[in-house]
Structure 1
Amino acid sequence: MKEPLQNINEQISQPFKENPSILHQFPTVAAGIDSLLRFDLLPRLRNDVQVRYEGSIDKQGFNADWDWWLYKEGREWVIFDVDGPGCIYNLVQHRYPDSEEPTFFFYFDGETEPRFQIRHSEFGQKAPFTAPLADQYMGPNDNGRGPIRVVRSFVPMPFARSCRITTDIRLKGAAKGDGGWGHVMYHTYADAQGVETFTGTENWSELLHQWNDVGNDPKPQTESETVSLAQLHLPAGQAIMLLEQTGSGNIVSIKARWHDDPAMDIPRSLLHDIWIVAHWDDHQQPDVECPLGAFFGNELGYNRIGILSHGQREDGQWYQYFPMPYWNGAHIRLHNRGTEDVDFAQWEIRYTTANKHLYPQHDTGYFRTSAYYPLQARHGQDSIIGQISGRGHLVAGQVTAFARTVGIISCEGDVRVYIDGNATPQVESDGSESWVNYGWGFPTPPEMNPATAYDGLPDNPWSMVRLCSGDCYPFRQQLIFGIESGEYNNQYLRHSGILFYYGQDGEGMTLTDELDVGNPASESIHEYHTAGSRGYYALESSYEGDADDVLITDKGHETEGWSQFVVSISPDNAGVRLRRRSDQITGRQRAIVYVDDQQVKERSWYVADRNPYKRWLEDEFEIPVTYTADKEQLTIRLEYVQEGETRVWNEFYYWIYSLK
């Protein structure tokens, strides 16, 4: 835990306390193109934003990740279905080129005709899904298993009311000629303010220029000063100060060069033994504490790789472009934790005091790293690469893996991210390589695109890095990032890694009430009653994810009418989050939500997916502050709406969080 925020800059924070409308005078991050283009706004906290995943995870918890559909409607197979405002930021799908080719259809805001469609082979070519925002990767033949084509897109696709993605064929099967692996990463918003639904005709030129310029600073140019250290000598076991500043400012970039000859092989010990350590605003604990290799995006160092935010240029220069604001001072030093002296050709740090208005302190996160996860194996459990507390959003991750022998396929482990104590992963991946938008393992290093890259030897070892700029992972209390070892934690793998994030120490929400459905005392306290009841039932099952072997028994209720209850909240809330434990044996559960007899018009409570094996699900509903401001309690009514296979709305437990 970092030191508490201190010495708030009254010149910035006081006007906000007196006049909240002044927020509109400051630039913010909207859904869509600007969320990627305005790299300088990454430190701004994402209020009222949540990250979500939909994809082809094996519902039984093993490695059969190849089937991807939710339900069939007419002649099309639905693979994504979300109600309420949001934005798609990442789409990936794996397919054998000689198999039947799917066409993807995109429906927005309740449309009955698709607004946009694209064939699998058109990714990277059909506007606006053009390279490098969208592209293709062709995996190798791999002794007859391949080749396989992986299409990926980082084209932001916002929607004000709803979105569905369908295909004209079913994405299924692992046999040669089939293949349905894939996922969608997206954000949901509490309301649609500032959201303009995707048309496909937006002006993409500036964003394409930015993404075609990897290695150069993606942020707008600003006045800055430069601290440059040439021929830096760093003795073993010692540290040297790179930058020491007082007052407010922002680190624009950090660059380094180990040797003037870019063809020189970088000693791997240098990537592990030299650490960069940064303290912002006199915090006692480091905000950044990271080995050099991970700080510049490559722990292994076999080959040069680079993405928009950090990496190594062709001329050998390392670069780090994440903005790093501070308000009272900055201290950055290098520490040699090895046993040999190290010499660097050059270090350069650029900083500025010219853009203070971008970063109001109460609404901006410090650039931080999670505690470095040293190379180790965990048996039968996910490797927990990072665990973060407080409030903020994840913007990048680095994961490295070693198997026992060279050449073994070690990519099958799923990435799983748990946010704010939710027992259901909010982000998953059908294999490690899918998280970085490749496929069929890590057989062809080095590979890179502006948002993701990997290095290593074919399949083992490997090191992957992913930038989450548009699709950052917001959290209000906690974020846990884990990865499986093999298909279902059945391999011996040693993982290492680190997370980059923007954060503050204080939590962004507080648990203010709980309703245990099926418990008479709890129901009585919360004035729980219902119409159209189908009765109570007990369920023993597990959640998806790392703890899918842990059985939990609970008693709940189901209704084909409505349920109603009263909950307590904080009167100074900035909105309310409802979390429900439910039985996801059937998909397409939907309810209309009323708060004090007023319908929440931004969305219905809707979950399109299902899992008849790992049946417990914790799903959430965000109530905007317009329905909750200055109230100490709410009367919640949930009216069931029949969709598809569902016949009831079920509920076992509710957690009520007041947002700050």
Structure 2
Amino acid sequence: MKNDNSLKKVRFKYLILFTIFVNAACTSQEYQVTVTSLLEEMLDREALAKVDKYPFKSLQVSSYSRKAVAPDKPGWFDNADAKQYVRVDTINGRKERVLLDVEGPGTIVRFWSTWHAHYFSNGTLRFYFDYSKSPQIEGGIDDLISHNEYVSEPLSKRVSAFLEDGGVFAGNNLYFPLPFAKHCKITYQQATEEVDDVLYYHINYRKYEKGTRVKTYQKGDWESEKYKSLIGRVNAQLNQFPPDDLQNEVTSMTRIVKRGESTVILLEGSKAIKKLSLKIGADNLSQALRSTVITMEFDGKPTVWAPLGDFFGTGYKISAYQSRYSTVNNDGEMITYFPMPFRESAKVTLHNYGKEDVELIKFDLHSSPWHWDEQSLYFHANWRLYSDIETAEKKDVNYVTISGKGKYVGDVLTLFNNSYEWWGEGDEKIYVDEEKFPSHFGTGTEDYYGYAWCSVVDFDSPFIAQPIGDGNRSPGISVNSRWRMLDVIPFDKSLKFDMELWHWGNTHMDYAPTTFWYGTKEAKAKEFDHVSAVQLPVKHADKFEGESFEVKEMTGGEVLTQAFLSYEWSARNHLYWKGIKKEDTLETFFYSEKDREGKLEAVFTHAPEYIILDMYLNGQRIFENLDLYSDSLNLKKYTVDNGYIKKGNNTVLLVAKGGNKKSPKADQLGFDYLKVHQ
């Protein structure tokens, strides 16, 4: 017996050791969160409509002014949003300014930054993971964030750059996920200590529940062959419009929706809408984009109420752009790819609250089967308008207030600025689950949307877009959007999103946010329908900016939006046509919401390399042999006494006639704007 018991003890001992060994081996391999899993999640649209597999909190650190401590305390709207760091560490004699210092497990999911070109040394950024004394990532901040040769676009991208100073006045964005198991510290070392760098930053990160197994990013991962093909595939799919993974049943409708009427598409079964495509026509298309409202009900629950243009991220002016979840084409087709699942039924309705009939040229719902379970969430979109809001006093404007459980996935801001001053100094303040102080506190509205320096340059990417920036520095419309992937914000009880209205000028403006989120059946937004607001006349500027013209056809050269903060073009930019040869033509068009008749004014840029041209408006030549040569950069107005711009689309044709005798090789022109004085 004694020998048998001893043998059993030995066997039991080895069994325990074997079990520990096997569990350790499995644990070391069965990571829940890795670079690979995160990149695959980024591509998984359906994951948006489900409770996250591994629960996490979405958090943000930024260089927001530390004077902001509470809404009822001085400094809440302070604008000193640069050079705000956690602390300064001295490591091997070098001063490293700490941007972030957090415990794991977690993942860095977004890094945005910008800097003042004249007060910046382009120093070194370092990432330290899991208490390592040496950085796993080290390099110039510009090289790592927006010009990362290993990550490449769109995961690493600079947007909306002004062309002066080499284009460094821009938003710099990195979306490559950087997971860590225990700890993460990010520091910045200036190239020189003579002058403090004017650095702004946001870092969004996930904090997972304790025990979540995360494989930490290893030095050189994004450079390795292991990830090269994966990164290439992710970038390719993010840039793919439309996506290639849609094999759906299509339900279609075309008809005239008369004023005051509605039209409905019903779907039954356990399905998900995977793509929604719409195109409308109207005498006043701008007003129709605001006064035609899309609503949705899933399983009898109303979840969506928004004007068409705002819902599709183009405001009340069709302007083409492409993003991961929303796209607008040049022909006016508007598309969204948000997955919208339901257990039993879906009802999608278009309401015409305007004064004119609307032609429904295209209305397609693409759907496919969906296995509804306790992880599935309902799609929501909410819109509200702050009409003629005063800007003299800084204030927090509410985007949305939500009660219940869900996740926040994006937003669109459509506004009309009635001033030549910048409107967007205000910071985002996002409160999750009844927080007293927001877990997301930013440095400016433009920074939240991924660009910087009140840039008027249009841009798009899978993550962010500015299809219209006319109102950033002059009277006009601007539309900004942000589509969240790994930086979605989960909430269990509530979410409140406020944005500061912080305008340089004392004026009035229209301010209309549209928010997108998913939630359980019990989750709901505090504000929902706003019929009277969509019936208000939309506002337009009295100028037609050349850079906002849509290119219809050209026979040579290249068209760009050229922008400089320091030059007095209207809206700080103009249409720039370069590489022109004699007899080249450029045909563009623009939309006017009404007939305009009176003295027509056209403003062109003059410069040494600028050509002679003829200009046609709606087929009629209004200027012949217009010589844009000058020995210095300047602007000049040209007028026509009996000018006419018609309601609807107007064409502008520019015909190159060659160069001035003083500049026979001239190959450029700049066109600022058109205006009719009525």
Q: Give the letter aligned to residue 101 of structure 1.
A: N
Q: Does 1:258 align with 2:280?
A: yes
Determine the structure 2 residue equivalent to 1:440: 453
User: Which structure's CA Rg is the greater one?
Assistant: 2
Structure of greater relative contact order (alpha carbons < 8 Å, 6+ residues apart): 1
Determine the structure 1 residue equivalent to 2:51: 45
Q: Give the letter aligned to residue 103 of structure 2.
A: D
Q: Does 1:66 align with 2:82?
A: yes
CA distance in 2, matches of 1:388, 1:486: 24
- Contact 2:273–2:368, Cα closer than 8 Å, also in 1: yes
Alignment of 1:43-442 (within 5 A): 43-46=49-52, 48-60=55-67, 61=75, 62-73=78-89, 74=91, 75=94, 76-97=96-117, 99-122=120-143, 123-137=145-159, 139-140=161-162, 148-169=169-190, 178-199=197-218, 200-201=221-222, 202=227, 203-213=230-240, 215-217=241-243, 220-221=245-246, 223-230=247-254, 232-241=255-264, 243-258=265-280, 267-283=285-301, 286-301=302-317, 303-353=319-369, 355-356=370-371, 359-360=372-373, 362-375=374-387, 377=389, 380-405=394-419, 407-442=420-455
Q: Deviations over 1:275-300 (max 9, x none)?
A: 111100022xx211111011111214
Q: Give the letter aligned to residue 228 of structure 1.
A: S
Q: Does 1:495 align with 2:511?
A: yes
SS of the residue corresponding to residue 135 of structure 1 reads: strand
Alignment of 1:598-609 (within 5 A): none
Determine the structure 1 residue equivalent to 2:18: none
- Contact 1:118–1:126, Cα closer than 8 Å, also in 2: no
Q: Deviations over 1:621-660 (max 9, x none)?
A: xxxxxxxxxxxxxxxxxxxxxxxxxxxxxxxxxxxxxxxx
CA distance in 2, matches of 1:55, 1:494: 28
The number of residue pairs the alignment matches comes to 461
- Stretch of structure 1 that moved more, 116-125 or 157-166: 116-125
Of 20, 30, 41, the residue aligned with 1:35 is 41
Deviating above 4 A after TM superposition, structure 1's stretches of 4 or more consecutive aligned residues are 28-31, 144-147, 170-173, 487-493, 505-508
Query: Shift in Å at residue 496 of structure 1?
Result: 1.1
Query: Shift in Å at residue 314 of structure 1?
Result: 4.2
CA distance in 2, matches of 1:52, 1:120: 22
Query: Shift in Å at residue 246 of structure 1?
Result: 2.1
Query: Shift in Å at residue 258 of structure 1?
Result: 2.9
Specify every segment of 5 or more residues in structure 1 that has no aligned partner in the other structure, as ranges. Answer: 1-27, 509-660
CA distance in 2, matches of 1:345, 1:507: 34
Determine the structure 2 residue equivalent to 1:479: 495
- Contact 1:250–1:325, Cα closer than 8 Å, also in 2: yes
Please, what TM-score do these two structures have when normalized by structure 2? 0.63
Query: Shift in Å at residue 389 of structure 1?
Result: 1.1
Q: Give the letter aligned to residue 460 of structure 2.
A: M
- Contact 2:160–2:456, Cα closer than 8 Å, also in 1: no
CA distance in 1, matches of 2:146, 2:87: 28
SS of the residue corresponding to residue 287 of structure 2 reads: helix
Q: Give the letter aligned to residue 489 of structure 2.
A: Y
Q: Give the letter aligned to residue 153 of structure 2.
A: A
Please, what TM-score do these two structures have when normalized by structure 1? 0.65
CA distance in 2, matches of 1:346, 1:487: 39
Query: Shift in Å at residue 195 of structure 1?
Result: 2.6
Q: Give the letter aligned to residue 184 of structure 2.
A: C
Q: Deviations over 1:469-519 (max 9, x none)?
A: 1100111111111111116998754421121100014479xxxxxxxxxxx
Q: CA RMSD in A?
A: 2.9
- Contact 2:294–2:308, Cα closer than 8 Å, also in 1: yes
> By percentage of residues, which structure has more helix?
2
Query: Shift in Å at residue 204 of structure 1?
Result: 1.4
Specify every segment of 5 or more residues in structure 2 that has no aligned partner in the other structure, as ranges. Answer: 1-31, 68-74, 525-678
- Contact 1:289–1:372, Cα closer than 8 Å, also in 2: no
CA distance in 2, matches of 1:71, 1:170: 18
Query: Shift in Å at residue 269 of structure 1?
Result: 0.7
